[in-house]
């Protein structure tokens, strides 16, 4: 029992020290960055009547959103709190003035501004206390070591917290008070850090109704895109059948009719036409196989996404390192969408990015039931979903699954494409066709 209690106390002390370090890291983010951004935001708003603010406000708002985004990531990593953003998507091709009006019309912008002010006060206090409680305890021990003597000699009695120090006894009492503050800090520091992020979530977390409305709007848009993609895919299949396999089968039928007429009169010519018909049948079969493979690759149906991705990597023109961490088979539509997404990105890396190497990571999180794909290449960069690289179509494809595509591709590279597709694991024994 004593060993268990000792282990628990050590774990709590470690959490208290870690929280103190996190508070120390958060302190300049609150009193310096948050307060500075709030002042810049107010000044920029005041400049709007003289037109200058129409250009400065979008830049300030983007900086505020980046600052808030950093705090959201820390909230998830350090406190396990999800703080949704809920920003309205920017209008495509908008200039500075329109972008400024769009941002000021977004309620999330004003929530961020209010949070900046609260963060520079309440956030500052909850970040400051965890490390100052421990630091003040160290100060008490330093006073006990003899530093109190010159201070008392120069200025007389002075106060440490609520203890007046005038001699060795009161210095010892101050040190004991400091130890009590340190113990208090180790106990409450994790709660203070969690309170810090709870304040952020209360102010910059998007309301549930807003998130639901945005999701409905996105699903409506992606549903139309999915219908358009399905119609385009059907037209492609019809065109490939008409121009490819069907034309070869018609030619083969005509050749067989000619062979039937020549088999008695000119056996040699009939033999040559028969060989040509055999070649046409082989080519038609190959085209049909390619067509079927484009609809649903056999390796994906038989072996799953992991092996299908490895097969894609082997067929790619550049070396690809593949790392797969999947629990088993996933829902078939999600696997198919992920397969073609990987194929598209690998093709872009090989043909357009002039990459020499690529790295593919596939991971499924059971905690939030999300398939995550990250593909990095060392190419020239500059890829965007708005460009002509096919990423826009890819974004629409995974959007039908409420998925997300993120591209980081600065000029000169490297390029990182991240794909997240919400999906469930396939039921055991689910039939694959």
pLDDT of 1 reads 44
Of the residues 269, 295, 321, the one at which a domain ends? 295
Host domain of residue 357: 299-422
Asked if residue 4 has pLDDT above 50, the reply is: no
Task: Find the CATH number of the domain harbouring 352.
Answer: 3.30.565.10
**73 vs 168, which has greater pLDDT?**
73
- Tell me which of 270, 295, 320 is where a domain ends: 295
Give the pLDDT mean for 279-290: 66
φ, ψ for residue 83 (rounded to 5)? Answer: -120, 90
114, two tokens: 């209010």
Same-domain status, 50 and 165? yes
User: For position 18, what pLDDT does the model report?
Assistant: 92
User: How many structural domains does the chain have?
Assistant: 3
Can you give the pLDDT at residue 433? 47
Do 67 and 43 sit in the same domain of this protein?
yes
Span of 10-19, 48-57, 87-96 with lowest mean pLDDT: 87-96
Q: How many CA atoms lie within 13 A of 428 on its CB side?
A: 0
Tell me the helices (H) and strands (E) count for the chain, helix number first: 15, 7
Instruction: Read off the pLDDT band of 27 (50, 70, 90).
Output: very high
Collapse the DSSP code of 48 into the 3-class scheme (helix H, G, I; strand E, B; otherwise coil) and give the result.
helix
156 and 218 share one domain = no
Q: Tell me whether residue 432 is in a domain.
A: no
Other beta carbons less than 10 A from residue 318's beta carbon: 18
pLDDT in the model for residue 246: 63
- With respect to residue 118, please indicate whether it lies within any of the assigned structural domains: yes
pLDDT attached to residue 38: 95
Between 28 and 237, where is the model more confident?
Answer: 28
pLDDT for res 236: 59
239 and 325, same domain (yes or no): no
Q: Are residues 317 and 278 in the same domain?
A: no
Q: Indicate if 59 and 168 belong to the same structural domain.
A: yes
Residues 125 and 187 in one domain: yes
Which pLDDT band, with edges at 50, 70 and 90, does 208 fall under? low
Q: Is the pLDDT of residue 392 over 50?
A: yes
Q: Are 397 and 340 in contact (CB under 8 A)?
A: yes
Residue 307 has pLDDT above 80, yes or no: yes
The stretch 150-171 carries a mean pLDDT of: 78
Query: Best-predicted range by mean pLDDT among 88-92, 174-178, 240-244, 288-292?
Result: 174-178
pLDDT digits (tens, 9 = 90+) for 90-142: 777 677 888 889 889 888 899 999 999 999 999 999 999 999 888 888 888 88
- Both 171 and 123 in one domain: the answer is yes
> Does residue 29 sit within a domain?
yes
Closest CA relative to residue 326, chosen from 370, 381, 358, 384: 370
What's the CA gap between 118 and 62, in Å, rounded?
19
Q: Are 86 and 16 found together in one domain?
A: yes
Residue 379 lies in a domain: yes
Helical residues (DSSP H) of 47-106, grouped into ranges: 52-79, 96-104
Shared-domain flag, residues 310 and 368:
yes
pTM, entire model: 0.55
In a domain, 427, yes or no: no
The proportion of the chain whose per-residue pLDDT surpasses 90, expressed as a percent, equals 20
Q: Which range has the worst mean pLDDT, 12-21, 126-135, 329-338, 420-429? A: 420-429
Q: Are residues 360 and 310 in the same domain?
A: yes
Asked, for residue 81, whether it belongs to a domain, the answer is yes
Q: What average pLDDT is seen over the chain?
A: 79
On whether both 132 and 246 belong to a single domain, the answer is: no
Cis peptide before 414 (omega within 30 of 0): yes
User: Last residue of some domain: 268, 295, 322?
Assistant: 295
Token code pair at residue 273: 């036409």
- Per-residue pLDDT band for 71 (boundaries 50, 70, 90) equals very high
431 located within any domain: no
Q: Is residue 433 part of a domain?
A: no
Contact 75, 83 (CB under 8 A): yes
């Amino acid at each position: 029992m004593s060993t268990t209690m000792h282990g628990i106390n050590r774990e709590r002390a470690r959490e208290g020290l870690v929280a103190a370090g996190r508070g120390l890291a958060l302190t300049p983010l609150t009193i310096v960055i948050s307060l500075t951004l709030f002042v810049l935001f107010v000044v920029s708003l005041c400049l709007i009547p003289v037109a200058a603010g129409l250009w400065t406000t979008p830049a300030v708002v983007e900086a505020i959103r980046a600052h808030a985004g950093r705090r959201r990531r820390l909230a998830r990593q350090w406190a396990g709190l999800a703080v949704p953003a809920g920003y309205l998507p920017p209008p495509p091709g908008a200039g500075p003035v329109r972008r400024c009006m769009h941002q000021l019309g977004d309620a999330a912008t004003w929530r961020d501004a209010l949070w900046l002010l609260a963060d520079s006060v309440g956030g500052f206090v909850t970040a400051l206390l965890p490390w100052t409680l421990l630091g003040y305890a160290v100060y008490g021990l330093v006073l006990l070591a003899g530093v109190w003597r010159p201070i008392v000699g120069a200025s007389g009695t002075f106060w440490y917290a609520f203890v007046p120090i005038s001699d060795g006894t009161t210095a010892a009492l101050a040190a004991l008070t400091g130890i009590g503050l340190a113990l208090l800090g180790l106990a409450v520091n994790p709660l203070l850090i969690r309170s810090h992020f709870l304040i952020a979530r209360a102010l910059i977390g998007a309301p549930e109704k807003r998130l639901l409305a945005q999701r409905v709007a996105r699903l409506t848009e992606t549903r139309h895109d999915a219908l358009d993609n399905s119609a385009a895919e059907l037209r492609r299949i019809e065109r490939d059948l008409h121009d490819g396999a069907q034309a070869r089968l018609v030619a083969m039928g005509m050749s067989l009719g000619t062979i039937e007429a020549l088999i008695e009169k000119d056996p040699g010519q009939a033999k040559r036409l028969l060989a040509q018909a055999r070649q046409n049948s082989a080519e038609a079969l190959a085209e049909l196989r390619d067509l079927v493979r484009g609809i649903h690759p056999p390796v994906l149906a038989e072996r799953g996404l992991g092996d299908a991705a490895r097969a894609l990597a082997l067929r790619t023109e550049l070396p690809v390192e593949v790392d797969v961490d999947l629990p088993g088979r996933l829902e078939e539509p999600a696997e198919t969408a992920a397969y073609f997404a990987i194929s598209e990105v690998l093709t872009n890396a090989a043909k357009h990015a002039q990459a020499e190497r690529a790295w593919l990571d596939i991971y499924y999180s059971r905690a939030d039931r999300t398939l995550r794909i990250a593909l990095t290449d060392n190419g020239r960069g500059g890829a965007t979903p708005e460009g002509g690289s096919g990423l826009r179509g890819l974004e629409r494809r995974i959007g039908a699954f409420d998925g997300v595509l993120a591209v980081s591709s600065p000029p000169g590279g490297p390029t990182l494409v991240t794909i997240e597709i919400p999906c469930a694991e396939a039921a055991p024994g689910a039939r694959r066709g």
